[in-house]
Amino acid sequence: MIVSQILKSKAAPGVLTLTSDASVKEAANIMSDKRVGTVVISDDDGSTAAGILSERDIVRELGKRGAECMSDKVSALMTTSLVTCTPSDSSESVLTQMTEGRFRHMPVLEGGRMIGLISIGDVVKARLAELAMERDALEGMVMGH
């Protein structure tokens, strides 16, 4: 399966974004309200990603400094060296990159513009669907259908 197929199957299209001058508290509130683990930081109309802020980033900083970090700008905590993919990349290559890089979200770029965001959960779900179809096809062959 390729990334474009995964994006089409997502329940909520689009990317949740904040600008780099938003507070960490604002980001945490939005992630909590939307029940997501990350927000992309974009200082334009959402077509480029300046960084990404995850629950893990916030928790690490809370552990180091306590609640005072919640008033920081997201630009202070966000990851700026993003690993991205394209709509034509395979789910296997994306899963490998996420696993080896130990991150769970990847912006999808097309022509330099961000068109979506996929999570490791999205990729695993797609991969399980592929495996189920393969299993069904093999069972059909064995059973003579």
Q: What was the pLDDT predicted at 46?
A: 77
pLDDT in tens, 39-96: 999 998 778 899 999 999 999 999 999 999 999 999 999 999 999 999 999 999 999 9
3-state secondary structure at position 2: strand
DSSP 83-126: --B-TTSBHHHHHHHHHHHT-SEEEEEETTEEEEEEEHHHHHHH
Q: What was the pLDDT predicted at 133?
A: 80
Place of tokens 């399966």: 1
Which residue ranges make up each domain of the chain?
3-143
- For the chain, give the mean pLDDT: 91
- Which CATH number describes the domain made up of 3-143? 3.10.580.10
